[in-house]
Amino acid sequence: MSTITISAGRVPPFARKSFPLTIAYSADETVEDVKKKIAAKNPKSLLLFYLSTSNENSTSMDRCNCLGTRLLQLYTSRQRLSLKADKKPLADDAKLRDAGVGPGAELELKDLGPQVGWKTVFVVEYAGPLLIHPIFYCVPELFYGRPVVHSQLQNFVFAMVELHFAKRIFETLFVHRFSHGTMPFFNIFKNSFHYHVLSGVFLAYDLYRPAFSASSPYIKGTMRNDETFLYTCAGLWAFFQLSNLLTHLNLRSLRPVGTKKRAIPFGYGFGLVSCPNYLFESLAWAVISVMTGSYAAYFFLVVGTGQMLLWALKKHRNYKKEFGKEYPRGRKAMFPFII
């Protein structure tokens, strides 16, 4: 077996004494195999040694040890490896010989910081609005200083918002298969702002206020108090939500369990755009915006659609780059015939 040297471009203080390090490898091993060896050589801190050898309160100590290990070890998902002369990250599933790693080569490691699983991130994001909306809806006195007799519009929208985020959590737990297992831990706070604040507090405060109540002139005698209008909007919204779910199920079928395989998606919605899930998501929120006329709903629609468009454009470029001429030329990123 040959050896390679691992230097550290950026690592936390607890791991600095471990670098540079030399490890043995074979050409058939993958980059992830190297990461596992680095993780195994990274020593635990003195505090963790004390916790792991203590006989008192072993159950609580074990829990602390698990948490501490995640915070104070260079586990594989927080490592990024690249060739010393090339800063491009090496793919985990790439074999070392294919990645250009030969005898005496030097790799550079960058610590990506504490990581958290994508499923955890999404559940935390979506649980925010799911819990925030019932508070505004059930105890409006806390926010508006008086009771609110909810209109049919408010009842419909409350149910639609709750079902939407419950669906998102269901999809996260049972439908989505993620190409990346983790993301930086501190990003969870930034990502949650969009949902907890914009679609949570901001949207809920606007939707359940007295201006949308049963006695409001904005509601009484208008189409927003007409059941035909409300059920039509709810039906459109449900159609877009189910369409969104179908595209997610289609994408799931393209990726076998435990792999990062990518394939060209076809079928419902994919004939016109690369990301119909984003299109249907935007249309569902457009229904709520038109249905209510809420400034907060329109603001969330614009911000959310803008963000999804950026994701769609990136995925569209990646599809075209990866599959080349095989990828359907007529497809747009998110909006049919436009972009």
Domain extent listing, the chain = 2-113, 116-326
The residue assigned the tokens 């909306």 is 133
Among 125, 237, 133, CA closest to 176:
125
> Residue 145 burial (CB < 10 Å; 0-12/13-18/19+)?
exposed
pLDDT of residue 309: 98
Q: What is the DSSP string of 262-326?
A: -----STTTTTBS-HHHHHHHHHHHHHHHHH--HHHHHHHHHHHHHHHHHHHHHHHHHHHHHGGG
The answer to whether 203 and 300 are in contact (CB under 8 A) is yes
Q: What angle is formed at CA 9 by the lines to CA 2 and CA 112, rounded to 5 degrees?
A: 100
Which residue ranges of the chain lie beneath pLDDT 50? 45-69
Q: Which CATH code, of 1.20.1600.10, 3.40.47.10, 3.40.50.720, 3.10.20.90, is assigned to 2-113?
A: 3.10.20.90
- Contact at 8 Å (CB) between 248 and 175? yes
| Interstrand relation of 79-83 and 106-111 (parallel, antiparallel or unpaired) | antiparallel
96: buried, middle or exposed (CB in 10 Å: 19+, 13-18, 0-12)? buried
For the entire predicted model, the pTM comes to 0.81
In 26-114, where do the E strands start and end? 79-83, 106-111
